[in-house]
Structure 1
Amino acid sequence: MKRLFAPIALIIAATVTTGCQSLSAPPPVELRGTGDLGLIIERATGSVLVVDHSEHEILGRVEGLGDLSHASVVYSRDARYGYVFGRDGGLTKVDLLTRTVTDRVIQSGNSIGGAISQDGRYVAVSNYEPGGVNIFDSETLDTVAEIPAFYTNAQGEKDQSKTVGLVDAPGNQFVFSLFEAGEIWTVDMYSNPPGINRYQAGKEPYDALITPDGRFYIAGLFGEDGLSMMDLWEPEQGVQTILPDYGKGEQRLPVYKMPHLEGWAIADGYAFVPAVGRHEVLVADMEDWSMVQRIPVQGQPVFVMASPDNRQIWVSFAHPKNDVVQVIDSRTREIIRTLEPGKSVLHMEFTPRGEEVWVSSRDSDRVTVYNTRTLEELATLPAQKPSGIFFTNRAHQLGL
């Protein structure tokens, strides 16, 4: 692993002058909590914005985070530090109060996301190249474990698979899927060394989620119809297929962007699922995982997210119809509003109690804030090609 930054122990109060340019160190840290803070990814510039969602305010920008074209963030238990997972294999620890990088390592050649353990001690990163999961001490970013995703391919040869859908789970576990191998692995971080169990799943899992109670791990499948679901309370039962008949005998549309299953909408006993290659949101009864409805929407859904009170389902879309967001009433399952936040909507994030939702529009260089009761625009914030929005309440939620 290549360490790029040493931990920052103090803030230097001096001012350095070079020629006509004056460079000042950050001001002393303001005494405040972090519960209403968050990070917004600026994907094109390798930077993040530190924001205050109570005041709709940008507090500062942190730069030098590498390739953030598919970046995500998890938080320490005290919600002071954000761990940013970059596409270039970089794992960066950001201090939200000092608005500085405290540590950074390059841990692979191509990574796709990560998770923090239930006890907050470990940060895991899911990698495409080389395929596998690397686990780090959350305080120091020292390596704890390296788990290469080896499997036997169709030719009977040893191969290495991309890993996707990495989440934290109860029992201090990590769970992830292997794309080429079609498997789901669990990692027990209470064991030393970590205990690994492997389960056969469907063809080409591309992303996954864990239900809010931490019981079910569900992987979307690119290589076949249906989804793979694992009951983490009864892992010995193996992986079962849910919604197996969806799409049989139908012509798929070209897939412009794979749906993201993280943030799946689960409301009133039903799961609202983005359909791959179709202009639909699927509704499944969580009692038996049967499909009960298809909701037509204006494009291919990418994010299908429930508000914290589960009353609304917010849907964003893939190119070329990605300049709008549609809001579905979870009771009537009807579209109640189509909003236009800007060009190339990439992500949405609800405030912790759900009174607002923040929406990033990459090609409009802004983030738009909506009131979820009135669906009216409250504020806009400038940002450089914004994508993911991550508030610190994620520190206390499973699977985010």
Structure 2
Amino acid sequence: MAVFPRTLRKPLAAVALLAVLAGCQATPQAELRGTGDLGVVVERATGSLAVVDTSHHRILDRVEGLGDLSHASVKFSRDARYAFVFGRDGGLSRVDLLSGEITHRVMQSGNSIGGAISQDGSLVAVANYEPGGVKVFDSETLEAVAEIPATYRDENGETKRSKVVGLVDAPGNRFVYSLFEAGEIHMLDMREGVPDVTRFREIGEAPYDALIGPNGRYYIAGLFGEDGLALLDLWHPEAGVQRILPDYGRGEERLPVYKMPHLEGWAMAGDEAWLPAVGRHEVLVADSDDWSLVERIAVHGQPIFVMSRPDERQVWVNFAHPDNNVVQVIDTESREIVATLEPGEAVLHMEFTPRGEQVWISARDSDRVVVYDTHTLEEVARLDSESPSGIFFTDRAHRIGL
């Protein structure tokens, strides 16, 4: 290391400082800010993403040119600077939240339904309807790494491709997903850089969505073709798939289903899991030790998202058409509905701030996002947004399955 005489140190330091300042002025950069209180709101009608500041309840930027966002989802890089946007048209986009720019974009399929980020943040996997399968990309460049067709044999012995649903990340750079037509769960291991797929067959009829627990152990697929769910213990995959809650609707006629429930936002409260019942005006409560049904709670309509406040004291529920102007809040200790709120028409999504003091709710047909205090249950802010749907905050970057 060079050592300068004491008399030269101050002039040299001044020269260095001037050089740094000159460099800063010569090179325009994104505004300096932390990303921990940022998030995005999907504006489906305009194919845009609103970048929001969750602390100050404001829209900072809008990113356009993201294609068909009618069923879009978003994941974040591990440094929470980049949002990966999975469009319904098969577009995969990487958005810089600080500059408000699309850094990379690929049209990777004809019809896509979401994706996931690997545990180490190096890989992005996309679930595709058309052609059915999973594609894996490098998260820095969006260059293709692998393609895994979702093939199966139908009752006539013909090889076909299935729609892929319920794709999640799992510990160990693994991805787990379900095949809708095939009635299968697949586990994709990318630890060695080469796809290694384990198949679990005959898991139930028409898995429509899935979730993974917050500790990454249990993968649970909801079944549309029959009552019940399919559970895979990722600590012991050799044990196969277990059926849970197989007869929660026994003896009852299922109602017409206007919108599939979503399982990604499932609620854990203590030792219990809270889940939406398919085709019923009920939220199911299950014991997470043996996955037996504990209780069925009657609610306003057919639940779509059943989401737990981070401290697990409340569960917030929104509903399918025609009851989708209402959100209900359930106290997890008493299991009673403590509030029925009306944020606007066509409530599509809810997102809690990282510590749960507030919840943001999108009301698509009212063109607004409404923010509530989760303790007082009073409205604290309202943002104008054209046809908002999904809301995603950057704390998801550090949580399994989100």
- Report the TM-score, using the length of structure 1 for normalisation: 0.93
- Unmatched runs of 5 consecutive residues or more in structure 1: 1-12, 14-26
1:142 counterpart residue number: 143
Quote the offset at 1:231 in angstroms: 0.1
Please give the root-mean-square deviation of Cα atoms over the aligned residues, in Å.
1.1
Hey, what's the Cα distance between the residues in 1 that align with 2:116 and 2:85?
A: 10
Hey, what's the Cα distance between the residues in 2 that align with 1:155 and 1:333?
A: 48
Hey, what's the Cα distance between the residues in 2 that align with 1:192 and 1:39?
A: 31
1:197 aligns with 2:237: no
Given candidates 367, 379, 387, the residue that maps to 1:365 is 367
SS of residue in 1 equivalent to 2:252? coil
1:94 aligns with 2:95: yes
SS of residue in 2 equivalent to 1:395? helix
Hey, what's the Cα distance between the residues in 2 that align with 1:254 and 1:194?
A: 39
The C-alpha deviation readout for 1:313-339, integer Å capped at 9, x for no partner, is 000000001001000001111000000
SS of residue in 2 equivalent to 1:298? coil
SS of residue in 2 equivalent to 1:341? coil
Hey, what's the Cα distance between the residues in 2 that align with 1:347 and 1:100?
A: 25
Number of residue equivalences: 376
2:247 counterpart residue number: 245
Q: Partner amino acid for 1:151? A: Y
Given candidates 276, 279, 282, the residue that maps to 2:281 is 279
Quote the offset at 1:292 in angstroms: 1.1
**Counting helix residues as a fraction of each chain, which structure ranks higher?**
2
The C-alpha deviation readout for 1:55-95, integer Å capped at 9, x for no partner, is 10100100000000000000001000000000000000000
Hey, what's the Cα distance between the residues in 1 that align with 2:213 and 2:78?
A: 20
2:238 counterpart residue number: 236
Quote the offset at 1:192 in angstroms: 3.3
1:23 counterpart residue number: none
Q: Partner amino acid for 2:388? A: P
Given candidates 387, 395, 398, the residue that maps to 2:397 is 395
Given candidates 318, 326, 329, the residue that maps to 2:328 is 326
1:76 aligns with 2:64: no
1:255 aligns with 2:251: no
1:179 counterpart residue number: 180
Quote the offset at 1:374 in angstroms: 0.5
Deviates more, 1:188-197 or 1:338-347: 188-197
Runs of 4+ in 1 over 2 A off after TM superposition: none
- Report the TM-score, using the length of structure 2 for normalisation: 0.92
Quote the offset at 1:28 in angstroms: 4.2
1:24 counterpart residue number: none
2:377 counterpart residue number: 375
Quote the offset at 1:155 in angstroms: 1.2
Percent identity of the aligned residues?
71
Q: Partner amino acid for 2:323? A: K
1:168 aligns with 2:169: yes
1:338 aligns with 2:365: no
Hey, what's the Cα distance between the residues in 1 that align with 2:35 and 2:227?
A: 42
Hey, what's the Cα distance between the residues in 1 that align with 2:87 and 2:155?
A: 31
1:65 counterpart residue number: 66
Hey, what's the Cα distance between the residues in 2 that align with 1:288 and 1:80?
A: 39
SS of residue in 1 equivalent to 2:156? coil
Q: Partner amino acid for 1:316? A: N
Quote the offset at 1:379 in angstroms: 0.2
1:116 counterpart residue number: 117
1:157 aligns with 2:155: no
Hey, what's the Cα distance between the residues in 1 that align with 2:153 and 2:364?
A: 40
2:317 counterpart residue number: 315
